[in-house]
Amino acid sequence: MHKAIWLDTINQEKIIQYKKLTGGVSSEVYHVKTIKNNYCIKRSLKRLLVKKKWIANTNRIKFEYLWLKHCQNILKRNIPNTYEFNNKKKYIVMEYLKTSQYKTLKQLYFNKIININTIRSISKHLYKIHSSSSNYKTKKTFEGNYKNFYDLRLDPYFNEVGRVYPKYKGYIKKINENYIKHSNTLVHGDFSPKNILVGKNKIIYLDAECCNFGDPVFDLVFFTNHLLIKSIFFKDKSQEFIKLYISFYKEYLSNLSKKNFNSYIDRIIKMTPIMLLSRVDGKSPVEYINKVKIKNIIRKKSFLLLDSKISSLNDIIKVINER
């Protein structure tokens, strides 16, 4: 039994058991039992649990709490309930979701459980959050977390690629500038299969500590990047992941005007290869890509995308499919 020294009670209920949960690199997460209920507690860490030194401001937990409250008004049944937030000790107390009832999307994929209807629902939900959050009030609430987003995403992912491959520094600088230029809605910042729980007829979204008022394309590329990597990693399921990639974008992009559609496609195309490289050579590499051969395949495809004239999602798929 693990006991956290920074908390003894929840809602005046005495805590009788802690169980530390595994998964993320930026927070401590616990399943906590009191005499009456079960809760989940998340506390942000100053030093992240990765190989390279990576320090981040713990005030990001406040913005995650604000994201949860904000999105409960948009997708009430898809966001966990929150019960307590302590800004001094940097933790959130929220609803505990039983592992017997929910699996992460990542777990499902590693068990080769692939459902195209699930991906369509996820795309619809993400569009609903983005389209409902493009206003001045949301901007004022979340723009203060941009520094944390920069420290946890743009610098360790994109800029780190530039440090490893200096020839792409100018290209990456333009991507970062584009992010600011197209900042028009609430971005999750860590929209990943590991942060999406799938249950019977219900999907839950978690871990928005990188949320900020930014470019929605980041969420799209961050998520679909995982689908591309899995299409390379799982050779026997490669085309199934490509179909998920196509379905996700088809569902989301169908909501856009022609002008916005073209702008989104341009930004997606430019960001995708750098995102791919970042999950091999950035500060937060994908943990299951541990064979040099697969890393080199991802690098090769990323360089092809960067150095070729790519003009469509089909061009991206063509490069990924090349063996």
* pLDDT for 2: 46
| Residue ranges of domains in the chain, CATH in brackets | 100-321 (3.90.1200.10)
Q: DSSP string covering 267-291, please?
A: HHHHHHHHHHHHHHHSSS--TT---
* pLDDT for 25: 73
Asked whether the beta carbons of 185 and 133 are under 8 A apart, the reply is: yes
> Which pair of tokens denotes residue 37?
């209920």
Phi and psi at residue 75, in whole multiples of 5°?
Answer: -130, 70
Per-residue pLDDT of the chain (323 residues; tens, 9 = 90+): 345 555 666 766 788 888 888 766 777 888 989 888 899 999 888 877 766 777 778 899 999 999 999 999 999 999 999 998 989 888 899 999 988 999 999 999 999 999 999 999 999 999 999 999 999 999 999 999 999 999 999 999 999 999 999 999 999 999 999 999 999 999 999 999 999 999 999 999 999 999 999 999 999 999 999 999 999 999 999 999 999 999 999 999 999 999 999 999 999 999 999 999 999 999 889 999 999 999 999 999 999 999 998 999 999 999 999 97
* pLDDT for 1: 39
Phi and psi at residue 277, in whole multiples of 5°?
Answer: -60, -35
* pLDDT for 6: 59
Could you tell me which residues come within 8 angstroms of residue 90 by beta carbon, excluding any fewer than 6 positions away?
A: 43, 44, 58, 59, 61
* pLDDT for 8: 67
Count of residues for the chain? 323
| CA 166 to chain CA centroid, nearest Å | 26
Q: What distances in angstroms separate CA 184 from CA 79, 134, 147, 181, 212, one per listed residue?
A: 22, 6, 17, 9, 10
Half-sphere exposure of 227 (CA within 13 A, CB side): 24
* pLDDT for 35: 86
Residue 184 three-state SS: coil
Could you tell me which residues come within 8 angstroms of residue 115 by beta carbon, excluding any fewer than 6 positions away?
A: 108
* pLDDT for 16: 80
CB burial of residue 95 (10 Å; 0-12, 13-18, 19+): middle
CA–CA separation, 161 and 249 (whole Å): 25
* pLDDT for 11: 67
